[in-house]
């Protein structure tokens, strides 16, 4: 039986796909997800001038949810590019974790729609927080996989870089996961608690003596 041919950046017995091809596929998924977000933003057609102001006011939650999810997806997109600059070879775990991440990203327009229409309810806020926590968990798991398997990492990438990515990813996971039970007391307070992730990530960057990382 002939040996399995391998492309660059792929371990034995894995699909003949390198990190660059997988990243290109992921970029397309991220782009589609961001495009779908804006489809829910708009006002009804044929409004009378007297009703236009009220329609714009009613659209504000949709705009807010769009901006929030655009920022989150943009952050995750930057994080995946930062991560892939460290990946020299793929293995099954990296491939499956990344495909699971893309599945969550592709589904983000749904929780975005929920939080735009029912943002003052605990279920909608909890679902949105759970989706972001899941996406960040998968990204963090990929970084942790590289820490545990140095053979998958490109030569010259410091271990501290990957460790910092794991720490910053865990910050997002903890903040959004912790906000889920908080929604039972106050959905608005739970949403405000998401802002805590920003200063915590900056603090971790300064503590490690490096600049801010998108990971």
CB 36 within 8 A of CB 30: no
| Domains in the chain: boundaries | 19-37+49-207
Per-residue pLDDT tens listing for the chain (215 residues): 444 344 444 445 455 578 999 999 999 999 999 999 887 776 566 666 666 666 666 667 778 888 888 998 998 999 899 999 999 999 999 999 999 999 999 999 999 999 988 988 999 999 999 999 999 999 999 999 999 999 999 998 888 888 888 988 899 999 999 999 999 999 999 999 998 888 887 777 676 554 444 44
pLDDT of residue 165: 87
CB 165 within 8 A of CB 205: no
209 vs 215: CA distance, rounded Å: 16
21 vs 26: CA distance, rounded Å: 9
Q: What's this model's pTM, rounded to 2 decimal places?
A: 0.82
């Amino acid at each position: 039986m002939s040996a399995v041919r391998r492309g660059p950046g792929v371990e034995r017995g894995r699909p003949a796909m390198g990190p660059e091809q997988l990243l290109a596929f992921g970029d397309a998924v991220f782009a589609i997800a961001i495009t779908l977000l804006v489809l829910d933003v708009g006002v009804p057609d044929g409004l009378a001038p007297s009703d236009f102001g009220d329609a714009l006011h009613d659209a504000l939650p949709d705009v807010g949810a769009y901006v929030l999810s655009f920022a989150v997806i943009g952050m995750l997109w930057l994080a995946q590019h930062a991560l892939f600059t460290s990946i020299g070879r793929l293995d099954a775990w990296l491939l499956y974790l990344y495909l699971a991440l893309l599945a969550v990203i592709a589904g983000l327009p749904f929780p975005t729609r929920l939080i735009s229409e029912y943002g003052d309810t605990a279920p909608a806020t909890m679902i949105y927080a759970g989706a972001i926590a899941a996406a960040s968990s998968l990204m963090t798991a990929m970084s942790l996989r590289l820490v545990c398997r140095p053979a998958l990492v490109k030569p010259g990438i410091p271990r501290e870089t990957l460790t910092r990515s794991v720490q910053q990813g865990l910050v997002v996971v903890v903040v959004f996961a912790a906000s889920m039970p908080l929604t039972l007391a106050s959905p608005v307070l739970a949403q405000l608690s998401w802002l805590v992730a920003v200063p915590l990530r900056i603090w971790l960057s300064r503590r490690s003596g490096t600049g801010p990382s998108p990971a």
